[in-house]
Structure 1
Amino acid sequence: MTATTNEQNSAMLTSPSRLRKIDLLREKNIGKYLPLPQLVAVGDQSSGKSSLLESLTGIPFPHGQELCTRYATQITHRRDELQRIDVSIIPGPHASEGHAERLKLYRRQVESDEQLYTEFPTILDEVNAEMGIRTKANPGNSRTFSDDVLKIEKCGPKEDYLTVIDVPGIFRATAEDTTPADRDMVKNMVKEYIRDDRTIILAVLPSNVDVATQEILDLAKQYDKTGDRTLGVLTKPDTLTERNQKQSVCNLVLGTRMPLTLGYYIVRNRGGDDDGNPANAAVAQREEMFRHDLWRSLPRERIGVAALRERLQELLGQITDRAFPKLLIEAHAMRKEAEKALAELGPSRQTEREQQVYLMSIAGKFQQFVRDALDANYSYDDAFARDELRLITAVLNITEQFKQDFDNASHSHRFHNPTAARSDDPEASAPVGVTSPASHSETTAANDNDDLESGSTAQGGSLLETYPELKDIIVTDWTIEQPVDDVMEWIGQMRRRSRGVELGTFGPAMLASAFREQSRKWGPMTEQYISKVILAVHKFFLGALEFACPDARVRERLTPMILHELLDGYREGMKHALFLVAVEREKRPYTLNSVFNISLQTFRGRRVAAALAGKVRNEITGKYGTSQKLVVDYENIETAVRDRSNDEHEKENIHDILSVYYDLARDRFIDNIWHQAVDHVLLSGPTSPLGLFSEQWVIGLSTEKLDAVAGEPRGVTDRRDALQKKIRDLKEAMDVLR
């Protein structure tokens, strides 16, 4: 036995197993994911394709049954101990689940070619009915062509492995039962079958037509640009009568005209008048014509069905051996890609429980985000690279700026500084109740650089265009009115308009009235402050929701559902802040803080010191006159205290009490606004809007609202089902290939 014979026997032992696995993959529709090695016969409707398939496979396609060409037919030969022919249907790649399940149930089995020949017309009628093909027997069906596949598998102890797929023939002119849409569908079906680089294209070409005009060769060139996988099969040579026609066909086979890498083969199939059963057909007698005339010049290995069949088996084995090692790798990679795509869809959200779990997961992530933002734990998530998500930092910066602005500009009239002229007084630089114009100017500049907005009306309009839902909650004009330098004149006017019959003092109503006027900007400035905080919280809320819920569709449905309660939370923060303003301004000025008396006495002492500033002199002391001290005469002190008119004394008294009390009330108010309105109501209290979207909130949603927010779109459900099926199919493919 030669080495070549051993190699052939070895190939015969291994190749059928691989080929069978390829067919198993095709049955499972793996071909829609991975290009599978295959032989596909294509050509025009009148090319003799069906007759060629009969000759190659022995399957008796009845000549009167044109409907068998309305879908692809896969014909497989497989060696087996038992002789039989199995007929089944492989659902098309776009078949619905119900249609696919029904087609998979169809099974017919016959024992021999003769039995198949007898029963084949009935089988085809059944298959057409199952696929929904419109026929005379089933005129109510709507489909003229189908992408389902008729599978015919011949098994027997003498069968050599071969699988050929016959695709419906291309046609140009429509008939009574076909439409332009049918024509395009068939052409697209042919393209789908020949596009993969693991497909050998059997271009069936009638000899009596110039091959240069055959559309199938143009299609083949589109997808097989190098021509390495197109094999021409010339049919109907017996119809040629003229010598130049025969010579032209011979030139094709000899490769001197329109050459193909795989070349051309020429065959003679049975005609319409031949015995209908190919098993009894005189194949050798039909091919006797190739021993005469110009046909004698052709190489024997390019003539006849037997030579073509042997070559096709060889080609199928070659492309299978080349592709087989790659298929497992490709299936594994494609499965991983599908699993990744499935994971990106997130968990399934088709049932109420799945929807609830999905939303609770988002709410949990959101609340974790809130906790980290309030704790300044910005290393937890990369999202905190965005400044608006660094919530507590933004709110503290806003609050510090608010305190500076409030210290410098919340009073209507700038308090008098009795020690301002004394540069040698170390305490004069920070007198109680006094703010210098310079410091306010600096504060205004700092406020203009606020990282939210500078507070102009134009920018406020821009804010409301971005967040129109905040229109009735926040103020957007953030300009600050500066105090005026007329405090003593103002106190004098107020005293003249409000004085009663009092001896050496003034009534509490006057102090209350003065405090209300001095604090009239507290309300507007507090609204500005709370507006900035609400804006910071709102930006954070929307940004955090975006990171917790990356699905834009779910966010678009979730946000309006939360928004009403969210805005109510903002309103409550603003309401509480203005309540605190009212408490401070509308009640009688009063404090239990002992600092009030200490500060008032200090303030009065500075006023006396200011009055004596021009009467202080230096005295040299010490044994050798080396020391100095400031000295004032006693009578000067008495004069400084006594030489004041009642009006001046009353104005200074009102001024000093108001100034000291104002400082205490202002500091108390700033603390209360922060702790109560901002921290408790808006940020971390039990009714904070940041705590609104939580697991408890999700649990409280009705079935209808759950589905409205988290229900999976039909497109996503279909995509998920398709990916899950793809993963299952590819897993089965990997099991087959191992």
Structure 2
Amino acid sequence: MTASQDIISLSNPVLLEKVDKLRDLNIGQHVPLPQLVVVGDQSSGKSSLLESLTGIPFPQDQSLCTRYATQITSRRHNKDSVDVRIIPGPRALEEHRKHVEGFHRQVPSNLEFRKQFVDILKTANERMGIRADVSSGSGTVFSEDVLKIEICGPHEDYLTIIDVPGIFRTTTQGTTKNDIVMVKNLVKRYIKDRRTIILAVLPSNVDIATQEILELAEEFDKSGERTLGVLTKPDLVLEPSAQAAVCDLVQGKKRPLNLGYYLVRNRGPNSGLEGHSELDKIFRKHPWADLPRDRVGIVALKEQLKSLLVAITQREFPALLREIVSQIAECRREFNSLGSPRQDEREQRSFLCQIAGAFQERARAALTADYGADSVFDQDELRLITHVVNITDVFNADFHENAHSLNFEKLGRSEPSEEVEMLSDYDGVRKASSIISDLRTLIKKANVGVLWSKEFVELSEIVTLGNTPMPMPRDNFSEWINGIYLKSRGLDLGTFNANFIATAFAEQSRKWSEITKIYMRRIIVTIHRFIAAALRSVCSEEQVRTQVWEAILQHLVKCYKKAMDQVDVLVEVEHRKKPYTLNRQFAEARSKARGYRATEQLYPKARKDTKQFGETQYVVNLDDVAKVAEGKNNMEQLQEDIHDILHAYYSLAANRFIDNVFQLAVDYCLLHGPSSPLKVFTQDWVINLKAEQLERMVGETKATKKRRSGLAKKIADLENALKILVS
């Protein structure tokens, strides 16, 4: 048997007592509770009806008429007692809550309570802040607090009824239009819940069409399934036609309700001490005598109310239990989403350290491509190292294809249908052109070449947006060398000035700075977006995230600037220093160039020699080899030497420069080095923050504090309610 089935199997009094305990905890503000609510216009006979149902002599004094909801509970007990308390309204401030919860009156007998009731009401009104004189004085006219009266005794029947202030349409002395609205809203709040039985009190001597309470009930109970009409003051209905109209209501012939109408007579303000049996004698007379006996009189109504309360409680208990469990889970999720409380410096520092630790874990996973560590890496901006590698590969290809001012000569010759290797340091990149093309598409899709408006403001002093297309390398290398040489030659004997290579290299590498800064801009934008996305993924509170971002932004910009400065140094070194290298590949490249040139001149004089298995070799005459360099003047020889030296050195310098840019500017300055922007937001940084910085950055707003406190209380209330239900 389930917990809800166990509860339903309990006896009715125990079941109803559990609901009353939930009502005492004000659980009704979170989940609707099974209840009977008495509603009606002022002067509809509500107070007299309540006295008939509960035995409590509600006063007719205007200053003590119902100004708040009153919960009246009667239960059977071996001793007489009446307990009176105040349940704070759902929106009560903490100070008012404590003030009214301190009110408690306990009277040893029902008889004694009836004598003290008026004085108890006056004291309760004062505690709630209700104005003693409606027409003047301080305080309010109506309150959202609830007066709870619990009557116990050996002859009491188990019943709980809630009375709410009577609806009124025009202001009287001391009341305002705001009071009219407040009372109507209070009534709506009680009758809107699907587990509420609405006891609509209607005076029989007034046309039912003028009674607003039925229209109000119909607004929330369109089918009339939970509205019960209580017709009062039948002794004032004298006209036969009016009496017939009342009988039609009770018999369901006019404006029917599923729960029907009951006709009752209560004591009037000038009545004596007549009992129910004396008051009900009127129902023996025409036309009331023709009405069903179970539809007239207080006794019949009271029995029906007890049955209705038990029935709705038994029916709704399983759903009530599920709703409370569901709301506890929902509140806990929201409470956890607020993070750790941060009321003081210790809590604030701990809270921000947790965020910083989570951020560093994101950065670690992103740098190692450990994307399976968290589904959050499905977000493209968080795949940092992948983007960096892709951008770097494209930079490497672009640099080799377009960073030089003039194209070097292509040395070598090939026969038709037979390809001969040509001197080229970037053939490998060209073979992977399809891959590079795909990478270019990815980079374009990532939009790292375009700054968003916010990024432009943040990074404007670091990266510049140049839309001027990069000029393609020119092909007139020999003419260019010849022009420079003729402008700088001196007295030489088939040689050239060493400074000439430096001048030529500076011109050939003139675009290095611009093309490298395009690369660095893409890397910086990628890292900047990663940091923003990673921060969003570990910090859900926008206000905290904004404060942290503003606090670290200046540090981030410094890191980016340091990387850009490193690029400037690398470019400056390559442009300003004299070309020099100890790399053995320089000599090998020059030797290879000479070999290609000699081969090119010997090729027309070579003959084919086919050996065994069809292998073809080329054979040249040694005398031809000796004459290979004949016929070239000094200028031609110098141009070839300058070309081959510059080509060999440029190729080595370009590869060295690309490596240095990645290793020193990107990897060291931006990714893994101690000054990496990824290491700005760390737990050490949080620990070194001053208290006022912490408060400004992560101190909880009043709204968050209020929400956290409200959720904590709601969780506690609901958990207590759950204990009551399953105990």
TM-score (norm 1): 0.90
Contact 2:405 2:511 in 1 (8 A): yes
The one-letter code matched in structure 2 to 1:678 is V
Q: Say yes or no: does 1:524 pair with 2:514.
A: yes
Match of 1:501 among 482, 486, 491: 491
Contact 2:134 2:141 in 1 (8 A): no
Question: Superposed, which structure 2 residues align to 1:334-733 within 5 Å?
Answer: 334-420=327-413, 428-431=420-423, 446=437, 449-453=440-444, 467-477=456-466, 479-618=469-608, 630-733=618-721
SS of residue paired to 2:201:
strand
Match of 1:258 among 239, 255, 259: 255
CA deviations over 1:420-455 (Å, ceiling 9, x no partner): 4677997x533156989x969969993993423399
Question: Superposed, which structure 2 residues align to 1:186-205 within 5 Å?
Answer: 186-205=183-202
Contact 1:37 1:319 in 2 (8 A): yes
Question: 2:159 corresponds to which residue?
Answer: 162
State the distance in 2 between where 1:48 and 1:369 align: 69
Question: 1:6 corresponds to which residue?
Answer: none
CA deviations over 1:440-479 (Å, ceiling 9, x no partner): 99699939934233999xx966656764422232243373
Q: Could you tell me how far 1:171 is from its partner in structure 2?
A: 0.7
Match of 2:290 among 297, 301, 304: 297
Sort the Cα spacing of 1:628 and 1:528 in 2 relative to 1 into closer, same or farther, 3 A.
closer
SS of residue paired to 1:482:
coil
The one-letter code matched in structure 1 to 2:678 is L
Q: Could you tell me how far 1:677 is from its partner in structure 2?
A: 1.0
Q: Say yes or no: does 1:328 pair with 2:321.
A: yes
State the distance in 1 between where 2:645 and 2:167 align: 104
Sort the Cα spacing of 1:117 and 1:506 in 2 relative to 1 into closer, same or farther, 3 A.
same
Contact 1:68 1:124 in 2 (8 A): no
State the distance in 1 between where 2:171 and 2:668 align: 79
Match of 2:21 among 21, 24, 30: 24
Question: Superposed, which structure 2 residues align to 1:212-291 within 5 Å?
Answer: 212-275=209-272, 280-291=273-284
The one-letter code matched in structure 1 to 2:421 is S
State the distance in 2 between where 1:482 and 1:612 align: 34
CA deviations over 1:35-72 (Å, ceiling 9, x no partner): 22221111110101101111221111222244331111
SS of residue paired to 1:89:
strand
The one-letter code matched in structure 2 to 1:210 is D
Sort the Cα spacing of 1:599 and 1:44 in 2 relative to 1 into closer, same or farther, 3 A.
same
CA RMSD in angstroms, aligned pairs only: 3.0
Q: Could you tell me how far 1:350 is from its partner in structure 2?
A: 2.7
Q: Could you tell me how far 1:480 is from its partner in structure 2?
A: 2.8
Contact 1:65 1:121 in 2 (8 A): no
Sort the Cα spacing of 1:439 and 1:234 in 2 relative to 1 into closer, same or farther, 3 A.
closer
Percent identical pairs in the alignment equals 46
Contact 2:136 2:174 in 1 (8 A): no
Contact 2:63 2:132 in 1 (8 A): no
Question: Superposed, which structure 2 residues align to 1:66-215 within 5 Å?
Answer: 66-136=63-133, 139-215=136-212
Aligned pair count reads 717
Sort the Cα spacing of 1:88 and 1:477 in 2 relative to 1 into closer, same or farther, 3 A.
same
Q: Could you tell me how far 1:500 is from its partner in structure 2?
A: 2.1
Which segments of 5 or more consecutive residues in structure 1 lack a partner in the other structure? 1-10
State the distance in 2 between where 1:70 and 1:589 align: 97
Q: Could you tell me how far 1:680 is from its partner in structure 2?
A: 0.9
State the distance in 2 between where 1:411 and 1:13 align: 91
The one-letter code matched in structure 2 to 1:153 is E
The one-letter code matched in structure 1 to 2:507 is E
The one-letter code matched in structure 1 to 2:283 is F
CA deviations over 1:334-371 (Å, ceiling 9, x no partner): 22222223223333233322222222222222212212
State the distance in 1 between where 2:713 and 2:611 align: 106
Q: Could you tell me how far 1:501 is from its partner in structure 2?
A: 2.3
Question: 1:734 corresponds to which residue?
Answer: 722
Which segments of 5 or more consecutive residues in structure 2 lack a partner in the other structure? 1-7
State the distance in 2 between where 1:154 and 1:731 align: 27
Q: Could you tell me how far 1:586 is from its partner in structure 2?
A: 0.5
The one-letter code matched in structure 1 to 2:683 is E
Sort the Cα spacing of 1:649 and 1:57 in 2 relative to 1 into closer, same or farther, 3 A.
same
The one-letter code matched in structure 2 to 1:484 is R
State the distance in 1 between where 2:661 and 2:479 align: 32
Contact 1:414 1:434 in 2 (8 A): no
Q: Could you tell me how far 1:113 is from its partner in structure 2?
A: 4.4
SS of residue paired to 2:149:
strand
Question: 1:4 corresponds to which residue?
Answer: none
